[in-house]
Amino acid sequence: MAHPLEAAKAGLTSPRNDEDQAGANGLVSLKQIQNLRADSALSAPMDQAAVKRIATLRARAALIGAMVIDSHDDLGRRVWILTRWSLTRAFASLDDLEALLNRMGAPA
C-alpha cells in the first residue's frame, strides 16, 4: 500500500466525508440513508393500542427467550422480526406474530 503522501501525489486521495464517498463511488450517502429512514414506515405514527400491543408481544417473546424487532422490508413496509436461537422470521402483521408466539408457548 502506498504512503498517503505518495497516494496524494498520484491523485489517489480518500474522500473527506460520506458525501464525497457517495459521489466518488456512486453509492448512497449516510445522509440519504437517514432521510430514507425518516420517511420509512417505521416513522409512521401508531395509535396507542398498537404501541401497547407491540409492547405486550415483546414482553411475551422475552419470557421465552426471544426478541421482537421493528424493521422494514426492501419496499419500506413495516415488518416485525422475531428471533430466538437460530430462528428468525419476519411478519407483516401483528396477528401473524402473535399466532407464532402462541404456538411457541409464550404466556399470554
Q: Is the pLDDT of residue 24 over 80?
A: no
Q: Is the pLDDT of residue 27 over 90?
A: no
> In this predicted model, what pLDDT tens digit does every residue of 44-65 receive, in sequence order?
678 899 999 999 999 999 999 9
Cα 22 from Cα 103, distance rounded (Å):
46
Q: How far is CA 15 from CA 25, 33, 71, 103, in A?
A: 10, 18, 31, 51
> In this predicted model, what pLDDT tens digit does every residue of 60-104 receive, in sequence order?
999 999 999 999 988 889 999 999 999 999 999 999 999 999 999
For 4, phi then psi, to 5°, come to: -55, -35
Q: Is the pLDDT of residue 11 over 80?
A: no
Domain ranges of the chain: 15-44, 46-103
**What is the rounded average pLDDT for all residues in the chain?**
79
Model pTM? 0.59
